[in-house]
Amino acid sequence: MNLNDLPTPTLILDRQRVRANTDEMRARIHAHGVALRPHAKTAKSVDVARMAVGDNGNALAVSTLREADYFLSQGFTDLVYAVCITPDKLDVAAALADRGAELKIITDNPAVAGAISSHASAHRVLIEIDCGEHRTGVAADSPDLTELAAAVEQSGRSRILGVLTHAGHSYATRTPDAVAAVAEAERLAAVTAGHKLRDAGFETPIISVGSTPTATHGVTFDGVTEVRPGVYVFQDMFQAGIGSCSTDALALSVLASVIASHRDRGTVMLDAGGLALSKDRSTASSEFDAGFGQIADLSGQPFPGLRVNGVHQEHGEVLVEDPELFATLAVGTKVRIFPNHACMTAAAYEVYNVVDGGVEVVDQWMRCNGW
Amino acid sequence: MNLNDLPTPTLILDRQRVRANTDEMRARIHAHGVALRPHAKTAKSVDVARMAVGDNGNALAVSTLREADYFLSQGFTDLVYAVCITPDKLDVAAALADRGAELKIITDNPAVAGAISSHASAHRVLIEIDCGEHRTGVAADSPDLTELAAAVEQSGRSRILGVLTHAGHSYATRTPDAVAAVAEAERLAAVTAGHKLRDAGFETPIISVGSTPTATHGVTFDGVTEVRPGVYVFQDMFQAGIGSCSTDALALSVLASVIASHRDRGTVMLDAGGLALSKDRSTASSEFDAGFGQIADLSGQPFPGLRVNGVHQEHGEVLVEDPELFATLAVGTKVRIFPNHACMTAAAYEVYNVVDGGVEVVDQWMRCNGW
């Protein structure tokens, strides 16, 4: 089966690029003497997760309890659910642990810490630290930190295992030096909080940091035990825009067909719209604006400057000025679209059509969507 | 089962409001002496479709061939696939017809018209007309119109059944009068094109127009045979913003939990982020900006001015200034979020949890996602 034979729109994943991206990140993080815990939220795929952890690897971060269930059923037992837990999700977390998951949950809230402590089951808990994004987490120097830890362990059932932080504000940086500065703030916050917990008598085997930009440009990870980047497995136009990768690393694309073309309007219409691409416009804030996605030919070679300029539910509109290029985009022609934000785009599909650097479909990999 | 018992994030549909929205639209369009062909792209649900068509109704528009397959298997045979067909989709269209679908396909392209004509199967074809949005379609007064029709019928197998247009630019209007003007342009384009085809010897039993705003505010539909609104079945914050409905009509919401709250930052974090809500920001251009969604209590009563201000993949950030309101949004509290764009948000879910005006879950309805 060739890409030209697939019904459109559909999702294409280049295994060769995933292998390069995952090998490179694993080597980089291991060179720092630190463990890699890939965040599975981007691919939500056991096949990608296996490439990301490498031989004998078993550690993942997940963004939903459904992912935890799915990856556990595929043999991944060392899991961090990296979104603040709520009391009514503790039963599900406990059931996963009963099935063999060494599931770590996180919180930054006193009421939740109390609920964890009084829950009938024993939980492994990380305190979430805010390293500057101000999304979730307590400050590393906040008195809340040790109070939260004490509250979690009050009943004697659940245990503090350390701290977790995420430098999401690295996405607002535009140079490697700026990312490195955020990475250092991320590292310092986690390490400082870990020291504080240890000084207060808590064990902290896990000092967890991570985002794709900071994992890529961080200079030192001293004191950190693990790094949790996510989108690097696929990369995307936004990451290319902020310097996390080159466009040669882009592993994920949407295959689409030209369904209409109007020379007088200078427009070509694709059958990939807001649902097939997502409405993420993150590259609008990066060095180059890829619209709703950068357009490439079937082999993955980008057409310079050609992007999806607008979307309707099932239509992607492309403005094409060059008459020669216009002529090559006749109705029925298939193109590939590199998305702004791989996590958002991939979520619209159940399956990856896998290629291996070429245009032959060599496999199909399933995703674990939803909640 | 009560809404408070559901795991979050999850999708909630108020059947009472769907019934009111669908009854009202059917009555309005029938009062004009015109048929209603609901566009199934919003709900992608046979249960909603049955309410929309009413007793003995059978006509739907669909946005994907997967929808056509799904609705055909549920007994809906009178289908319009309202996105320009490509030659490689003709086999699928023919297979649906073989299974009993009276499937109408559309095109605005000479090469596709030729491919339809030379395809081994007979197809029912509408020519797409551009009534001012300049997305797809030929102008009503273009010589292309009759040429396309002749090309479709050249082999004698496939048949022209009329014209179809969609006034998507009605979404850019902000007053009922402005919508009415667009509705009149939509009507005129379709009727004019229909006359032209009839004058050229083609039968035109179908003169199809439609969008939720124009179906709502159109003054006359003379000469039109059917109207195809879509999002009205659920309505959303954008439609409320441009005057298609009041917020009392909003039938779709996302149930979410508070997972963190930080009084010092004035933020409450929900477990509904970009994946659960979509990144559609259409209300940014409407009279009021609902962020990534308007927040309401569990019963669906909106908190004035409270919206999802920012999203991450699984986090929705809410800025809360009022200390009293802040106190009511403790971690674990469940809220409902009315989305900007119901079509985009609903697509992230497999299932609707159905309520009937209250907070009891009375049913679960499936969606037909993907392509």
Q: What is the set of domains in chain A, with CATH numbers?
A: 3-11+245-366 (2.40.37.20), 16-233 (3.20.20.10)
Tell me the chain B residues in contact with residue A275 when contact means C-beta distances shorter than 8 Å: 343-344, 347
DSSP state of B300: S
Chain B environment of A1 (Cβ under 8 Å): none
Instruction: Report the alpha-carbon distance of residue B67 to residue A37 in Å, rounded.
Output: 39
Q: What is the pTM of this model?
A: 0.97
CB contact under 8 A, B111 and A371: no
> B89 to chain A: which residues are within 8 Å by CB?
7
Residues B78, B58 contacting (CB under 8 angstroms): yes
pLDDT of residue B286: 81
Q: Please, which residues 21-40 of chain A have a Cβ atom closer than 8 Å to chain B?
A: none
Q: Which residues of B touch A319 (CB under 8 A)?
A: none
| Across A194-223, average pLDDT | 97
Measure the CA dihedral B242/B349/B96/B123, to 10°: 30
- Chain A CB contacts of B168 under 8 Å are 312
The CB-side HSE value for B104 (13 A sphere, CA atoms) comes to 24
Whats the size of chain B, residue-wise?
A: 371
Over 80: is that where the pLDDT of A287 sits? Answer: no
- pLDDT, one tens digit per residue, over B78-122 is 999 999 999 999 999 999 999 999 999 999 999 999 999 999 999
Phi first, then psi, for residue B260 (nearest 5°) are -160, 155
Q: Which of A262, A280, A334, A369 to mutate to test the interface with B (most CBs of B within 10 A)?
A: A262
Do the chains contact at B312 and A168, CB–CB below 8 Å?
yes
Q: How far is B84 from chain A (nearest CA, A)?
A: 6
Q: Which of B108, B275, B317 sits opposite A260 (nearest CB)?
A: B108
Give the residue from A295, A172, A303, A307 showing the smallest Cα distance to A241. A172
B186: phi then psi, degrees, rounded to nearest 5: -65, -50
Of B196, B144, B106, B139, which Cα lies nearest the Cα of A265? B139
Q: How far does the CA of residue A67 sit from the closest CA of chain B (Å)?
A: 13
Residue A61 has pLDDT above 80, yes or no: yes
Predicted local confidence at residue A285, as pLDDT: 87
Which of A8, A279, A319, A349 to probe the B interface (max B CBs under 10 A)? A279
How near does any CA of chain B get to the CA of A120, in Å?
18
Quote the mean pLDDT of chain A.
Answer: 97
Of A7, A85, A259, nearest to B83 by CB-CB distance is A259
- Asked whether the beta carbons of residue B331 and residue A274 sit closer than 8 angstroms, the reply is no
Averaged pLDDT score across all residues of chain B:
97
**Does the CB of B64 have a partner CB in chain A at under 8 Å?**
yes
Cβ contacts (< 8 Å) between B83 and chain A: which residues?
Answer: 259, 271, 314-315
> Which residues in chain A touch residue B317, judged by CB atoms under 8 angstroms apart?
135
Per-residue HEC secondary structure of chain A comes to CEHHHCCCCEEEEEHHHHHHHHHHHHHHHHHCCCEECCECCCCCCHHHHHHHHCCCCCEEEECCHHHHHHHHHCCCCEEEECCCCCHHHHHHHHHHHHCCCEEEEEECCHHHHHHHHHCCCCCEEEEEEECCCCCCCEECCCCHHHHHHHHHHCCCCCEEEEEEECCHHHHHCCCHHHHHHHHHHHHHHHHHHHHHHHHCCCCCCEEEECCHHHHHHCCCCCCCCEECCCHHHCCCHHHHHCCCCCHHHCCEEEEEEEEEEECCCCEEEECCCHHHHCCCCHHHHCCCCCECCEEECCCCCEEEEEEECEECCCCEEEECCCHHHHHHCCCCCEEEEECCCHHHHHCCCCEEEEECCCCEEEEEEECCCCC
Q: Is the dihedral of CA A40, A42, A44, A49 positive or negative?
A: negative
In this prediction, residue A288 has a pLDDT band, given cuts at 50, 70 and 90, of confident
A56 in reach of chain B (CB within 8 A): no
Chain segment B273-288, per-residue pLDDT in tens: 999 999 999 999 887 8
Give the integer Cα–Cα distance in Å for A202 and B225. Answer: 74
Q: What one-character DSSP code corresponds to residue B132?
A: S
Q: What is the pLDDT of residue B285?
A: 87
Residue A149: per-residue pLDDT: 98
For residue A308, the model assigns a pLDDT of: 98
Q: Is the CB of A279 less than 8 angstroms away from the CB of B275?
A: no
Distance CA A41, CA A32 (A): 24
Residue of chain A with shortest Cα separation from B111: A331
Torsion of CA A88, A92, A94, A99, to 10 degrees: 180
> Is residue B371 within 8 angstroms of chain A, CB to CB?
yes
* Residue B248 exposed, middle or buried by CB count within 10 Å (0-12, 13-18, 19+): exposed
Q: Token pair of A106, please?
A: 């996180």
Q: Closest approach of chain A CAs to the CA of B266, in angstroms?
A: 11
Which chain B residues are within 8 Å of A108, Cβ to Cβ?
260
The pLDDT of residue B15 is 98
Given an 8 Å threshold on Cβ–Cβ distance, is A88 in contact with B332?
yes
Residue reference for tokens 């809404």: B3
Q: How confident is the model at residue A143 (pLDDT cuts 50, 70, 90)?
A: very high
Q: Could you give the CA distance from residue B338 to residue B345 in angstroms, rounded to a whole number? A: 10
Sign (positive or negative) of CA dihedral A317, B83, B110, A4: positive
The residue in chain A having the minimum alpha-carbon distance to the alpha carbon of residue B346 is: A275
Torsion sign over Cα B71, B72, B74, B79:
positive
* Structure-derived torsion over alpha carbons of residues B325, B328, B332, B335, reported in degrees to the nearest 10: -60
Q: Point out the residue among B87, B259, B331 whose CB comes nearest to the CB of A332.
A: B87
Chain A touched by B226 (CB under 8 Å): no
Residue B297 C-alpha from the chain's centroid: 26
Residues of chain B contacting A265 with CB distance shorter than 8 Å = 134
Which residue, among A5, A6, A8, A86, would best test binding to B if mutated, counting the most B CBs under 10 Å from its CB? A86
- Report CB contact under 8 Å: A331, B41: no
- Taking the Cβ of residue A284 and every Cβ of chain B, the question of whether any pair is shorter than 8 Å is answered with no
Q: How is residue B171 written in tokens?
A: 């979404």
For A136, the closest of B168, B260, B348 (CB atoms) is B260
* ipTM of the complex in this document: 0.97
**Span A277-306, mean pLDDT?**
95
Name the residue among A86, A93, A76, A73 with its Cα closest to residue A39.
A76
- Per-residue pLDDT reduced to its tens digit, A333-357: 999 999 999 999 999 999 999 999 9
Instruction: Say yes or no: B264 contacts chain A, CB-CB below 8 A.
Output: no
Asked if the C-beta of B132 comes within 8 angstroms of chain A's C-beta atoms, the answer is no
Is B328's Cβ below 8 Å from some Cβ in A? no
Average pLDDT on A176-200 reads 97
Contacts of B101 (CB under 8 A, 6+ apart): B68, B72, B77, B79
Residues B286-327 pLDDT 10s = 878 999 999 999 999 999 999 999 999 999 999 999 999 999
- pLDDT tens for B115-154 read 999 999 999 999 999 999 999 999 999 999 999 999 999 9
Tell whether B278 is within 8 A of chain A (Cβ): yes
A86 touches chain B (CB under 8 A): yes
